Amino acid sequence: MSDFSYQHGALCAENLSLATIADEFGTPAYVYSRAAITRGYMAYADACRDAGRDAGTALVCYSVKSNSNLAVLHLLAQLGSGFDIVSGGELLRVLAAGGNPGKIIFSGVGKTRAEMQLALSHGIACFNVESVSELHRLNRVAGDMGVVAPISLRVNPNVDAKTHPYISTGLKENKFGVAFDDALATYRTAAALPHLRVTGIDCHIGSQLLDDAPLLEALDKLIELIDQLAAEGIVIAHLDIGGGLGIDYEAEQPVAVGAYLGRLFARIDAWRVARWQGAPVKVLFEPGRSIVGNAGVLLTRIEYLKPGSEKNFAIVDAAMNDLMRPAMYQAWHGVEAVLPRSGTTATYDVVGPVCESGDWLARSRALCVEEGDLLAIMSAGAYGMTMASNYNTRGRAVEVLVDGNVSHLIRERELPEQLFALEKIIS
């Protein structure tokens, strides 16, 4: 996480001390680096350009669920990004942030009629359809509106992404997509429906993938299908390989974005030359974590140190409601002291104030700390704030975006009164 480094004894976001940010905005706080987000996106954009692709032949559709703050979406929209959404709410966020609806793709297994209507009324680029029932529903909704819906089928290629079972999505037993063996028949159904226009094919096999072999295996299966579809006169104009590239949380060595895209484009280009006389196919990506994951930290303050016979606890003011990943996936996040002390270390579990034993952020960490010290929970830019809840009536954290040595408050801290403002007492 090179945008979070020690300068003059203090952990900084870009060139601003996290201690200064804590003084100004309080804790817990999500702190993001604008430079890191930009670099994360540009790794994809540059690899597309290096492969000779322009906006017409490659599109990065940032996966909004990973970090959906308007300022983050606005920054990415300005860089030229498209967006992968999974709800009407995410669509409205992207539009509010200035995103181009013509670069939005809509994934998800449970799209409602209202969400379909909303997306059609804004003219999004494509619906990634995940079932036969959804095809029929979308056809009816589009017909009622007098429009034609552009669609792609999310194919489940039955590839093992070799990642945590909760974030693996491309196996037969997962709820996602149309089974590979049913894909041809489902495309035939789609092609025959009058208010649908088949434009693409997509997949997303899982998240936090460290190796690109499963992704390239999934690509080969999509290629096979595209050729079979062409033989039936169904021409696929875009191929969406999904997101999924992992990041370095602890000591992982994920494949570099450029290397993966280089291999992917080489394979696609060779196939297009061999079978399609070089006719291009537009390639879409849906990355989330690999763009924002290491672009953010969760800044928290130690409220109490509680030594114990079995364990020592550092009780901090952030909790599982702020960062769910450890409780939910036993995920590992680095913990750094913002103003490191010299002295002897002790081993601590870093836990929050929520009334659950599962409320931990890090376990068995060697720390030299005192009450009142600030800690940064690292690699929290993706699936941090977006998965936060109000459990224990805890307002969600502030979000701050750092640009050089300037901080911008991009989401205020939630107040308790806001948390129950929609509730009603009955007589």
Q: Which residues are catalytic?
A: 355
333 contacts ligand LLP (rule: CB under 6 A):
no
Candidate list 28, 99, 150, 244; residue touching ligand LLP; CB under 6 A? 244
Neighbours of 397 (CB within 10 A): 28
Candidate list 28, 214, 287, 296; residue touching ligand LLP; CB under 6 A? 287
| CB within 8 Å of 102: residues ≥ 6 apart | 123, 124, 125
Output the smallest distance, CB 275 to ligand LLP, in A: 27
Candidate list 288, 334, 352, 381; residue touching ligand LLP; CB under 6 A? 288
* Residue type (1 letter), 124: I
One character per residue 205-224, x = contact with ligand LLP (rule: CB under 6 A): --xx----------------
Output the smallest distance, CB 384 to ligand LLP, in A: 8
List the one residue out of 277, 198, 274 whose CA is nearest residue 238. Answer: 198
Under DSSP, is residue 99 helix (H, G, I), strand (E, B) or coil? coil
Q: What is the 3-state secondary structure (H, E, C) of 145-166?
A: HCCCEEEEEEEECCCCCCCCHH
Report how many residues bind ligand LLP under the rule CB under 6 A.
Answer: 21
155 contacts ligand LLP (rule: CB under 6 A):
no
* Residue type (1 letter), 404: G
Output the smallest distance, CB 382 to ligand LLP, in A: 6
Strand partners, 16: 13
List the one residue out of 352, 335, 426, 334 whose CA is nearest residue 389. Answer: 352
- The label of the residue with tokens 């806001």 reads 418
Pairwise CA distance, residues 393 & 411, whole Å: 18
| CB within 8 Å of 422: residues ≥ 6 apart | none
379 contacts ligand LLP (rule: CB under 6 A):
no
Cβ proximity to ligand LLP, 260 vs 383, nearer residue: 383
**Range in contact with ligand LLP (rule: CB under 6 A) among 16-24, 268-276, 280-288, 360-368:** 280-288
Candidate list 242, 254, 296, 352; residue touching ligand LLP; CB under 6 A? 242
Under DSSP, the state recorded for 68 is -
Candidate list 383, 400, 401, 407; residue touching ligand LLP; CB under 6 A? 383
289 contacts ligand LLP (rule: CB under 6 A):
yes
| Interacting residue ranges for ligand LLP, rule: CB under 6 A | 63, 66, 84, 107, 167, 204, 207-208, 242-244, 286-290, 325, 329, 382-383, 387
